Amino acid sequence: MRIVIAGGHGQIALRLERLLAARGYEVAGIIRKPEQSDDLRSAGAEPVVLDLESASVEDVTELLRGADAAVFAAGAGPGSGTDRKETVDRGAAVLFADAAVRAGVRRFVVVSSMGADPAHQGDEVFDVYLRAKGEADAYVTRQKDLDWTILRPGSLTNDAGTGLVRLEAHTGRGMIPRDDVAAVLAELVDTSATAGLTLELTGGSTPVSVAVKSVAGN
């Protein structure tokens, strides 16, 4: 199984790459900076240098050919302005979805954000971010040729993962270690029965694999 991850050097993506590589999957991570390549190799992933802000849909389609699943985990990141929320959090997600459709990659998982909403109001950077993520999510959900799942984690922490989560259509606000987000993503990639679901994720009391199985097919 070959899985391509956009935003391959992100904190969640690096964790996910390690988990997927440990399962024996072939993993490729898209990165913008060549100097990040060694970090991906250490995680067991093949680094692919491509700037999703300037790449064409043809460029990304070619990269996705032959993949079994695609994960969009890219983000402009803290400290970026409103322009990059539009070009990365919305624009790159739309580009990646379009390329997956063209390449025939059906399984498509998005790392979104709790509170993402295309109708979110406000002009502050975080408002623009939530609106951009919401617009991207809405675009993905309209793609009939994608078996999409959208994951919206709560507030991210670097605490050690517990392996215990709450994964539902609506969880309410909460914290979640990045370790546990990656663990849920690894299960989602493997569980196509979660296609068509938008799920919120916080820390909880249910083991990751059980939580994913319990929402599958709903």
Render pLDDT for 153-182 as a digit per residue (tens, 0 to 9): 999 999 999 999 999 999 999 999 999 999
Mean pLDDT (the chain, rounded): 96
pTM of the model: 0.95
Q: How many domains does the chain have?
A: 1
**Backbone φ and ψ of 172, nearest 5°:** 85, 170
Q: Which two tokens stand for residue 174?
A: 């909460």
Nearest to 181 by CA among 148, 159, 214: 159
Residues of the chain with pLDDT under 50: none
Length reported for the chain: 218
CATH of the domain at 62: 3.40.50.720
* Cβ atoms of residues 123 and 114 within 8 Å: no
pLDDT reported for residue 129: 92
Whole-angstrom CA distances from 110 to 37, 131, 158, 184, 218 are: 22, 15, 20, 12, 18
pLDDT reported for residue 167: 98
pLDDT reported for residue 79: 75
pLDDT reported for residue 217: 75
pLDDT reported for residue 83: 86
The whole domain housing 81 covers: 2-216
pLDDT reported for residue 76: 78
Annotated catalytic residues are 129
